[in-house]
Amino acid sequence: MSRLLSGELFKIRKGLALPITLLVNIAYLVFYTAIVFFFVRFASDLISAEEVEAMDAMTGGINLFPEYGVQALSASLAVFFQVIAICAAVLAGIWICDDFDGGTIRNLLSVGVSRTKYYFTKMLCIFVISIIFAIITTLLFTGVITLFFSFGTTSISAVDLLMFFGGHLLTYLTYVSIFVMLAFLFRNVGATLGVGIAFAALLETILVMVLGMPFASSVSFLSNIFPYHNLMQFSQVFIGAASTTDYLIAAAVCGVTVVITTAIGLYTFNKRDVK
C-alpha cells in the first residue's frame, strides 16, 4: 500500500486538482481577511456590546472583535472549517472522477491492485492534504489577524488542546469519507462537486437555522446531527464549556458516519464495473 500511496501523492502533485483546490483555499483566505479588516476597522463601532454578547452565545465565545478579547487560533479554525471541507470536496470530485474518466482505475485493477486498497489510499491522501490545507490556512490567518489586530488570549490545558485538535481532525475525516463516497457513487465531476460543495457550504447553516426553531428544541436527538453537534462540542473545549458526555457523543457521531459512508462507497465500488 505504501507504493500505491506514494504513487498517488506523486500523481496529485502533477495534476490540476491540487492547484485548483489551493486557489480556492487562498481566495477564501484573502476574502475573509478583507471582511474581518473591514468590520474591525469600520463596523465594530456600530455594533453594541449586547449584540456582540449575542454573537458569543451563537458561536461558543468566538467573535472577531478584539476589544472583547478574541482567541485568534480558535477563531481561525472556526471560520475556515467550511472552506477546508469545500477544498476536500473539490479534491475528491476532480481527482477520483478523473481517474474513472482516464482509465487509471481500470489499469490499476488490471495489475492486481485491490479495490479496497485503492479506495482507502484515496481517502487517506485526501485526508492528509486536507490537514495540510487546514494547518496552512490557520497559520496564515492567525498570523495576519494577530499582526493587524490585538487579540485576547484563552488559557487551555494540554489535554483540552489535544481534544480540540483531535475533534476537528475527526470531523475533517468525516467530511472526507462523505466526499470520497460521493465520488465513487456518482463517478462524475459535476455531480460530485455540486453535491459535495453544497453539503460543505450549506449543511451547517441550515442545521443551525432548523435546530434553532421551537419544534427542534423539543426533539433532543436532533442536536446530535453531524456536523452541527460536532462543531459546537469540539469548539466548546476552548472555552471550557464542553462536557465529556457531549464530546464523546460528537466523536461517536463522526465515527459512525465514517463507517457508514465508507461501507457504502466500498460496496458501490466493488459492485459496479470499471470501464
Predicted local distance difference test score (pLDDT) of residue 68: 37
Distance CA 167, CA 247 (A): 8
Highest mean pLDDT among 124-133, 159-168, 236-245, 253-262: 253-262
Lowest mean pLDDT among 36-50, 55-69, 105-119: 55-69
Distance CA 109, CA 118 (A): 9
- Neighbouring CB atoms inside 10 A of 162's CB total 12
Angle value at C-alpha 130, between 155 and 70, nearest 5 degrees? 25
Q: Measured between alpha carbons, how far is residue 125 from residues 54, 180, 183, 187, 201 in Å?
A: 40, 11, 14, 18, 22
Distance CA 30, CA 252 (A): 35
3-state SS, residue 155? coil
Please state the domain extents for the chain: 2-271
pLDDT digits (tens, 9 = 90+) for 41-56: 665 555 555 555 555 5
Predicted local distance difference test score (pLDDT) of residue 53: 57
Under 8 Å between Cβ of 191 and 100: no
Predicted local distance difference test score (pLDDT) of residue 63: 46
Residue type, 165: F
Residue whose entry in the numeric block shows the C-alpha cell 463601532 = 45
Predicted local distance difference test score (pLDDT) of residue 21: 72
